Structures are given as C-alpha cells and as structure tokens.
Amino acid sequence: MPGPPRGCPNPLFTRWLQEWRDQAAERGRVRTQRAYERALSSLRKYPLPLRSGREARILQYFGERICRQLDEQLEKHRGAQDAAGGTDLQAPASSWTGQEDGLPSCKGASIADFPARWPPSCSDKPEQQLKEKRHGSRQRGRRYAPTQRSAAYAVLLALYQDSMSSHSKGYLTKLELQRAAQPLCDKSFTLVDPGNKNNAWSAVSTLIRKELVLKTNIPARYSLTEAGLALAQELAGLRAPNGQEPNFPAAEIREELLLSEEDSRDGHVPDRPGSVEPGSEPPMPQFTLQPGQFDIILCVDIIETTGGPASRKQDLVDELQRNHVPFSIRKLHVGDFLWVAREKAAPAPGEPRRCTARELVLDYVVERKRMPDLCSSIVDGRFREQKFRLRQCGISHPIYLVEDLNSAQHLSLPEKTLQQAITNTQVVDGFFVKRTRDIRESAAYLTLMTRHLAALYGDKRLVSCTKEELDQERPLQAGDGSCRLLTFPEFNQGAVKNKAQTVSEVFARQLLQISGISGDKAAAILERYKTPASLLAAYAACQTPRDQEQLLSSIKCGKLQRNLGPALSKTVAQLYCTQGPLP
C-alpha cells in the first residue's frame, strides 16, 4: 500500500485512514469504507498540521467516531514510542527549531513531530507535583456513576436497552428517549417541578459533555458512546467496574451505525444494519385513562404569564385562580392555551404507583390575539403561517380568541382590514372565533371552556395514539365512547416551529406565500401533489400552457369542497413554470 505523499502535513492520520478504509473494503463494509474515503479526501486538502483527532473535527466528513479513533490510535503510537525509548520524527529537523518554554514550533510540523507526552504535563513543575501529591489520588479515584433512578441513570439504561433490541435503529429521538427513560426515573422528563427551571431532560447535556452519549443529526438522535455503553452495562449489572470487556456481538454493527450517522449529516441516508422495513417496527406502547382516573387541566403558555406588561400578565393568572381553574404554566410550541387530561396521582387498585402523571391532549387549542398582536402578525406574515400550523398540529378544534376589540383605532391597519381578517378566519379558514372585550372576559371564557370540557370528556375512555394514527381516525368515537388523543410530549414536540422540515412542509410554506392561498387550499394541493417535484412533473405532462394554467383549478378545497378556481391555478402555474422573473 503506498504511503502518504511526500510533504503531507499529516502523514500518520493519512496512513491510518488509508488502513481503516482498506480493512473496511476487505470486510465488505461499503458504508464504512466510504466514510473513511470521504474523510481521507478532506484531510488531503487541509494544508496545516493537526495535533489530535479532536482538532480534525473542524474538517468536513470528520465525525465524532473517526476523531475518537484517531485519538485512540495516537495514544497507542505514543506508547510505542515511549517503549522504544525515542520519538519517531517524520518531519525535517528544522520544524523543531524555535522552541519556547519547552514547546516545539508548529511551523511545518505534523502530528508525528510532537513528543509522546504532548502537550507536556503540568506536573513537571514542583508546585504542581506538590498539589497532585496532596489531592491527586483522591481526584483520580473519583469516577462518574449516576445514582439509581436518577435522570442520567435512566437515559443510559434506556439507550442500552434499545441498542440490545432486535428492532433498534441505532439511536433514539428525543421523544423516544423520554418515553423509554421515564419508567426508570423518579423525575419527569417533560414537566418542570415547582421552583425549578429544569426537568430530568437536562441530564442529557451532562452525559453529552462527559462523552457518554452522542448527539447527532437534526432533529436530534441520541446513542451511546463506547464509554457510555460500558457504564450502562455496569448499571445493568452485566459488567463489573474493573471487569473485562464483555463479548458484545453488536460492536461492529454499532461502529458502522455511528459512521453511517456521519454520512447522514452530510445528506446521505445509509442502509443501517438491523433496521426494519417501514411498517414492521412495533408501535410505541399505548395507555388508556378510564373515566374517573383523570382531571382536566388548562395549560397556559409561559409567554402568556411572563414578558410584556407585567400587570396584564398577572391579571390573567389572578383571574384563573379567582375562578378556581386548575391550570399549569408550561412552554407550548403552538397555541396559547390547551387542555390536557392528567392522570390522577393515586393509582387504581392493583396498579403500581407512577413517578409522573401521564397526560393526553384534548381536541381543543386556543390562539389568543389582542388587536395589536393581530395587526403586527398580519403585517409581517405570521398570521397565515400560525393558522396553518394550528391546522397541522393534530387538534381538530382550533379557536381564535380575539381581545381588545375597541383598540382598533390606534393601530396601523384600518379597522375594516382587521375585521375582514377576523371574518375570513371564521368563514374561510373554518376556525371558531371568540371575541372578548378585555382580559377578564377572556379568563371567564377559558373558565367556561374548562368546565365544558370536563363534562364532555368526563365519561369518555381516553386512549393514547400517535399522530399518524390520529390522521387516519378522528378523536371522538361515538361507537364505544372512547377518544384517541395525543400524549402531551408527542403533541408539543411535533409542533416545534424551527424543527427540521420535510419537503412537503417546505412546499406548504411556499404555497402559503401566494396571495389567496389559505391553509385549506394549500392542504388540498398537497393532498394531490406532495412535493414540488410531483407538481412540476404534472406541469411537464401538460400539452399546452393553457393546460398548465388550468391544472389545479378543479381541486376541491375546504369544508364546502369548492374548486380552487382558474385564477389561483394560473397564479401557481406562473410561479412554477415561468422561466426567469415573473411578468
């Protein structure tokens, strides 16, 4: 095998990557081979020397796994140099000139030019030696080990149990990890304790910082590092703290999964070993809340209680408390108010006590708009986008609560324009619009809605389901008196505004920018053409420009199933078919 080219600034890294690439090729591991090949190509273009694998993280295609491999190989290389009684210098001697404070000059040097103990240990100084003598033994004896049923303990065991499953994808998403870890932890991964800003999920940041958990991709995917795997095995009782490494047959598969993750960050979707076919993966476990086992709680977005005029925010809280409304303040990613059915703290006879109450989101959500808010959202374009997100969040009864109707004369938009926007929201978009005069009347409406929903759902059997299942079957089931509802974590996580979007979601946002395209109309177009590529293919199949202009005119929209119409159809066709700027 030819070695690194002459004058290569990082000959050792180049040689090791070549060796690992060739070994992967011999074993038939195509994905792994490609990951090393891409990293090697990136390294060859880098003109400066690197001192460690961690420094290589700045280069393209160098993920956490490859950088860690380089550092581990570098430690072995230095150990071999120490055993041989010297340093294998591969660069010209001139690169070692100009030393200051015992440090070699970096000019023209490669990773092999540095001594085996690089950077030099601070313990060479007498005062540091004395400090280590006093405190070093105690610090070296410390070892991170989370306590039983702590958040970190639950996360490590949940990831380990998933890695051992035959259905494992090699990672868990945030929502999947929260679900898997919750039964193993005494704190909630979604709810914040009173007087505390954090919940159990904050432990994940600690595990990432300690390099026990690896976070990749957007949306985030979580998996165990090798150190995290070893610690999780100890927590699971499968490995003694000072015992030998167990025979873990999935080690090579895990390596390929982690390397493949680096591919996926660059836009490639690898074929993951052990993954299952779509639809064959077992569904997440469901739970049911029987009548009498839950309370109806109003959830208030934290923005409604903090920021802005403090007196107005506190007025809302005071009114809800005065009306004896059970409410919970939390971060909502869509809407300002919604209701959840919260499992009662006391378990039913024969059932184990749970550390946190489970919650299901009822089929109603409220977006509150004061007139100044409505005006600004219309001006900056947020109004239409918010309505579309409310339509797509999985709740079929969105409500607009419009407040301060008498302040329209003080706004930048004419009152007639604002009233027309409110009417269109109700008539065209199909939202229920409730108008109130002030915050006290708004609190009274929320109070009545809370009591109404408590009566409406009180005798229902509430069954948890996924958003995919909810899209197939509406929540209220008249036959058996049951309701299919989303869990609060799944609802709120799915409504994150800045999450990574699918092509269809981006396509919907494009359509919403067209004047005259409402949320219902965009959804109707998406139902027939999921992506811009499918729409462009349909336009390409048209015989004449006239056919292109009329392609979408007969699409049925909204509850009344009216045609999209020739005018909007022509506008969309001009946008997607016109070469160059629009006339």
Encoding tokens for residue 273? 């070993």
pLDDT at 479: 52
Going across the sheet that includes 221-224, the strands are 172-173, 221-224, 213-216
Q: Is the pLDDT of residue 121 over 60?
A: no
pLDDT at 551: 92
Please tell me whether the peptide bond between 566 and the residue prior to it is cis, using omega within 30 degrees of 0: no
Report residue 314's pLDDT band, with 50, 70 and 90 as the boundaries.
confident
Encoding tokens for residue 70? 């380089």
Among 242-251, 319-328, 541-550, where is mean pLDDT lowest? 242-251
d(CA 226, CA 233): 11
Q: Is the pLDDT of residue 323 over 60?
A: yes
On the 0-12 / 13-18 / 19+ scale of CB atoms within 10 A, 237 is: exposed
Q: How many CB atoms lie within 10 A of CB 174?
A: 18
pLDDT at 306: 67
What's the mean pLDDT in 226-237?
Answer: 86
What's the mean pLDDT in 103-131?
Answer: 40
What is the average pLDDT value for the chain, to the nearest integer? 75
**Percent above pLDDT 70 for the chain:** 71
Contact 298, 446 (CB under 8 A): yes
Contact 361, 338 (CB under 8 A): yes
From 159, 206, 198, 197, select the one nearest 178 (Cα to Cα): 159
* Packing angle of the helix pair 226-235, 151-163 (nearest 10 deg): 100
Contact 558, 520 (CB under 8 A): yes
pLDDT at 337: 94
Contact 192, 331 (CB under 8 A): no
Q: Is the pLDDT of residue 9 over 50?
A: yes
Phi, psi of 316, rounded to the nearest 5 degrees: -65, -45
How far is residue 569 from each of residues 61, 76, 228, 398, measured CA to CA in Å?
44, 67, 56, 28
The pLDDT tens digits of the residues spanning 245-267 come to 433 333 343 444 444 444 434 43
The pLDDT tens digits of the residues spanning 485-500 come to 888 888 887 766 655 5
In DSSP notation, 126-188 reads HHHHHHHHHHHHHHHH----PPTTSHHHHHHHHHHHHHTSTT--S-EEHHHHHHHHGGG-SS-
Q: Is the pLDDT of residue 104 over 50?
A: no
Specify the pairing of strand 562-563 against strand 397-403: unpaired
Estimate the share of the chain in helix, then strand, then coil, as percent rounded to the nearest 5: 50, 15, 40
- Number of C-alpha atoms within 13 angstroms, CB side, residue 272? 23
pLDDT at 448: 94
Q: Is the pLDDT of residue 28 over 90?
A: no
d(CA 397, CA 485): 13
Better-predicted residue by pLDDT, 216 or 108? 216
d(CA 550, CA 546): 6
Phi, psi of 342, rounded to the nearest 5 degrees: -100, 130
pLDDT at 194: 54
Q: Is the pLDDT of residue 103 over 60?
A: no
What's the mean pLDDT in 366-375?
Answer: 87
pLDDT at 316: 85
pLDDT at 375: 86
Q: Is the pLDDT of residue 235 over 60?
A: yes
The pLDDT tens digits of the residues spanning 392-450 come to 788 889 999 998 766 555 677 888 888 888 888 888 788 899 999 888 999 999 999 99
pLDDT at 334: 87
| DSSP structure class, residue 316 | H
In DSSP notation, 71-84 reads HHHHHHHHHHHHHH
pLDDT at 126: 42
Among 158-167, 197-206, 310-319, 371-380, where is mean pLDDT lowest? 310-319
pLDDT at 265: 42
pLDDT at 282: 36
Encoding tokens for residue 375? 């005006």
pLDDT at 140: 45
Phi, psi of 245, rounded to the nearest 5 degrees: -65, 130
The catalytic residues are: 301, 304, 336
From the DSSP assignment, how many helices (H) and strands (E) are in the chain? 21, 15
